[in-house]
């Protein structure tokens, strides 16, 4: 029988192994893992993450009602959002915060968003674990849903706690950029940022989805290009989208396959990049190269005579974006998508080689005055 000490995988003290990511983009350094965040975090290397953004369960699903788009709707979001009691909720917050603290780099920071239902537990757990509290941001929502019971003030804010790993951390803060964004003044801890805009929800929406603008400000304030960003409760992938746009590396954990699918669709829509090359041909329309006096020509002739347009070129082109190599791997002129795909196959490629197909239609007109 082999000695377990010589086989690290069989040792009861062996570190847990990361599962295979359900999404991996090696070029842009983006990874998504499906599973319990505590298990994913336990398998990550210690002190390997520069920044954490977490939007944990708020424990609000209590069979109540709220107002959304002028309609009365249930507040229930799923079993993951149901409260197990104050003690169990706090134990959960302490556990995932401790796991995040372990993987944070010595000078790394963490941002945690929440309402009054959870944020006080988060703050207390951070103090118990030895985090260094830096700021509490009040995120103001300009158009919050009304309070249907008329027994409370309308809930118009969320709190975001920003903390460093410990008291010895020398955290990064892009003070200069934040001052520029604030119009030359020190940026305050009250941020007025609208909720997710329609374009952010065109593929679907998560019940606690955060706006891209909020995550972009957080990443710009406390990380640099190339920094590794972690989101242990990824949801619809807003952190990943912001990281991609700002050239940060990112990894995320999410339990629900449906939300992972939504995150993938959002990411892929941003991953498509089309490069257009333009060639300019310079030529002289004058038949005579010598200088000419044009002072007698009517200066407003073009304005007085309506231009007649003549179609001189029309084309429909299809661009095939590679599944593995995110570039244009094939382009062709065709009258229809079916014809373009037939030409793609005829070139020796299969349909699975393409992730996206982009169609462009070009019409060039010659303006002629009478």
Contact 34, 22 (CB under 8 A): yes
pLDDT given at position 287: 45
Backbone angles phi, psi at 119, to 5 degrees: -65, -30
∠ CA 23-354-350 to the nearest 5 degrees? 120
Residues 171, 165: Cα–Cα separation, whole Å = 9
For the stretch 83-126, pLDDT in tens is 678 899 999 999 999 999 999 999 999 999 998 889 999 999 99
201 by DSSP, 3-state: which? helix
Res. 10: pLDDT tops 70: no
CA distance 78 to 59: 10
pLDDT on residue 83:
67
pLDDT of residue 281: 41
Assess whether pLDDT exceeds 90 at residue 199. Answer: no
- Confidence at residue 79, expressed as pLDDT on a 0 to 100 scale: 64
Are the C-beta atoms of 106 and 167 separated by less than 8 Å?
A: no
Beta-sheet pairing, 65-68 with 328-333: unpaired
Instruction: Please state, in angstroms and rounded to a whole number, the distance separating the CA atoms of residues 48 and 229.
Output: 10
Least confident range of 165-174, 176-185, 202-211, 297-306: 297-306
Q: Residue 7: what pLDDT?
A: 43
Average pLDDT of span 264-269: 87
Residue 258: C-alpha distances to residues 3, 20, 96, 253, 286 (Å): 43, 18, 22, 13, 64
DSSP class per residue in 8-49: TTTSTTSPPPPPPPSEEETTTTEEEEES-HHHHHHHSPTT-E
What would the pLDDT profile of 309-357 be if each residue is shown by its tens digit?
A: 777 678 898 999 887 777 889 999 888 999 999 999 989 888 888 888 8
Predicted pLDDT at 154: 86
The tokens of 301 are what?
């002739």
Domains of the chain: residue spans and CATH = 16-271 (3.40.50.150), 305-368 (no CATH)
DSSP code of residue 207:
T
Average pLDDT score over the chain: 82
The pLDDT assigned to 138 comes to 97
* pLDDT tens-digit series, residues 209-246: 999 999 999 999 999 999 999 999 999 999 999 999 99
Over residues 160-172, mean pLDDT: 97
Contact (CB, 8 A) for 203 and 196: no
The torsion of the CA quartet 51, 57, 60, 62, rounded to 10 degrees, works out to 180
């Amino acid at each position: 029988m082999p000695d377990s000490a010589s086989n690290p995988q069989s040792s009861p003290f062996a570190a847990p192994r990361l599962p295979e990511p359900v999404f991996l983009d090696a070029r842009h350094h983006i990874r998504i893992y499906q599973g319990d965040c505590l298990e994913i975090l336990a398998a990550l290397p210690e002190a390997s993450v520069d920044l954490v953004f977490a939007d944990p369960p708020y424990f609000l699903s209590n069979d109540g009602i709220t107002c959304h788009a002028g309609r009365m709707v249930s507040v229930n979001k799923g079993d993951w959002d149901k409260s197990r009691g104050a003690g169990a909720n706090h134990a959960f917050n302490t556990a995932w915060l401790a796991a995040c603290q372990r993987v944070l780099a010595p000078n790394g920071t963490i941002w945690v968003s929440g309402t009054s239902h959870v944020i006080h537990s988060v703050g207390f757990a951070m103090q118990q674990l030895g985090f260094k509290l830096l700021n509490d941001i009040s995120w103001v929502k300009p158009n919050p849903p009304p309070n249907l019971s008329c027994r409370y003030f309308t809930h118009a804010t969320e709190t975001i706690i920003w903390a460093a790993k410990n008291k010895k951390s020398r955290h990064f803060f892009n003070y200069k950029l934040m001052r520029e964004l604030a119009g030359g003044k020190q940026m305050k801890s009250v941020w007025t940022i609208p909720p997710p805009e329609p374009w952010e929800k065109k593929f679907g929406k998560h019940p606690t989805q955060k706006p891209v603008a909020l995550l972009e400000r957080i990443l710009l304030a406390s990380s640099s290009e190339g920094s590794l960003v972690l989101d242990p409760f990824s949801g619809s992938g807003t952190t990943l989208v912001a990281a991609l746009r700002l050239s940060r590396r990112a990894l995320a954990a999410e339990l629900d396959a449906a939300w992972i699918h939504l995150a993938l669709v959002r990411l892929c829509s941003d991953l498509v990049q089309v490069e257009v090359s333009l060639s300019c041909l310079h030529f002289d329309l004058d038949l005579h190269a010598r200088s000419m006096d044009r002072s007698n020509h009517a200066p407003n002739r073009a304005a007085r005579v309506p231009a007649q347009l003549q179609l001189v070129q029309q084309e429909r082109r299809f661009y095939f974006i590679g599944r593995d190599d995110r570039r244009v791997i094939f382009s062709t002129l065709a009258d229809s998508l079916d014809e373009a795909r037939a030409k793609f196959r005829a070139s020796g490629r299969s349909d699975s080689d393409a992730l996206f197909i982009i169609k462009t239609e070009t019409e060039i007109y010659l303006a002629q005055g009478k």
